[in-house]
Amino acid sequence: MVLATGGIGRAYKITSNSWEYTGDGHTLAYNAGASLIDMEFIQFHPTGMVWPPSVMGILVTEGVRGEGGILTNKEGRRFMFDAIPENYRAQTADNEEEGWLYCQGSKDARRPPELLTRDHVSRCIVREIKEGRGSPHGGVYLDISWIKQKLPNAAEHIKRKLPSMYHQFKQLADIDITEQPMEVGPTTHYIMGGVHVDPDTQMSRVAGLFAAGECAAGINGANRLGGNSLSDLLVFGKRAGEFAAKFAKDNSLGKIDNNKIESVAREALAPFDRSNSESPYQVQQDLQDTMQNLVGIVRNESEMREALGNLDGFKERAERAAVTGNREYNPGWHTALDLKNLLTVSEAITLAALERKESRGAQFRDDYPDKNEEFAKVNTMITKAADGSMNVRLEPLPEMPGYLKQVIEEIK
């Protein structure tokens, strides 16, 4: 079997992910005995739509900032200049004019701070929001309309350079980005962690179970470079398919346990038999709020411990969630079935983030704000214990194969 089920974005309140990104593959593999690795590393895209609620999380391309779009708080201050990391300072503009020249293609100018790494920009936006300087709907402002101060034909320039963004905001939010700023905020975008697989065959530690794409892990490390996900899926999806086919030819089929099938079917239909219970939508909403607020972009131990306590309560509520209606095209039923998967990946993310007592890549802990080189040598590994509980441990990184060391030496 090859798992290629995507990510976990629906565990969070604001996400760019489609509705079916509920950690199904992660949970299937985990329950089958596979390991999950590095689940703490979740990439947040800094600019998603935050208003109106019906379009919350839809991405606003980085091209807006690349064309000169600036981030401001409710006071109108361009706050990204307030926190340029020391290791990026030499590459980053220290004034607005230089940043504008870079966006106009000047090779002598350095990039504006709005074009720093996704995780850094996301954290800066969260800081503004938490300190009360955010926009009315819980974001900040992304303004491309200001370039009318620089270009006489600014409106036509914006429509020509950013046609999809112009139409997206006009149609979905009734905002003309050539005249008004956009309200944006960080949105859950991609999980670097996932099913632990062999890098050559893509097989997990469960014989015959393969994974590829976002539900697998390993290629992206602590933070994904933009554009890598499609290559990841194509290259390792091909490998997974080829080795899964070879495994199927070389091995006989396992036996199907009809009793287990009947048990799973009864469990799946149980929400229809319940009454006087709450909607699964309410449980999912509360879970999303917990993950967004307590295990989001900026983390600390006390908040994550609180989140674990909440998750225990959500598990009990999920067992009682009830639905009505038929079995076809019933999103309430789908949500009830998804809750177990969402709760599993949410617990894995939280436990892994607690175990990694440092800040690295997409994980930022304000109680451990620096990198710790001891954690550079380990992965967080999640497995299912015999009693059904979730076990997390730190596992040393494997030695690099000799042939790879040789390739690296040849490149040098």
| Model pLDDT for residues 280-301, shown as the tens digit of each residue | 999 999 999 999 999 999 999 9
DSSP symbol at 41: -
Query: Burial letters for 278-301: b for 16+ Cβ neighbours within 10 Å, e otherwise?
Result: eebeebbeebbebbbebbbbebee
Residue 230 has what pLDDT?
A: 84
In the chain the domains, ranked by start, together with CATH numbers, are 2-41+192-396 (3.50.50.60), 47-186 (3.90.700.10)
pLDDT of 355: 97
Mean pLDDT of 254-262: 88
The CA-CA-CA angle for residues 287, 292, 295, to 5°, reads: 95
- pLDDT at position 346 is 98
Does residue 384 surpass a pLDDT of 80?
yes
Residue 218: which pLDDT band, with cuts at 50, 70 and 90? confident
- As a whole number of angstroms, the distance between CA 184 and CA 140 comes to 6
Query: Is residue 62 pLDDT above 80, yes or no?
Result: yes
Scanning 162-279, the segments in alpha helix (DSSP H) are 163-173, 228-250, 258-273
| pLDDT confidence of residue 209 | 96
Q: Give the pLDDT score at 320.
A: 92
DSSP codes joined into one string, 218-250: SSSTTSPPTTHHHHHHHHHHHHHHHHHHHHHHH
DSSP state of 399: P
DSSP of 112-161, one letter per residue? PGGGS-HHHHHHHHHHHHHTT-S-TTSSEEEE-GGGGGT-TTHHHHHHHH
Check pLDDT > 90 for residue 407. Answer: no
178 and 145 Cβ atoms separated by less than 8 Å? yes
The whole-model pTM stands at: 0.89
Angle at 112 (CA atoms; ends 110, 114), nearest 5 degrees: 150
Asked if residues 36 and 25 have their Cβ atoms less than 8 Å apart, the reply is: no
Please give the radius of gyration of the chain, using alpha carbons only, rounded to the nearest integer. 23
Tokens representing residue 137 in the block: 């709907």
Catalytic residues: 45, 65
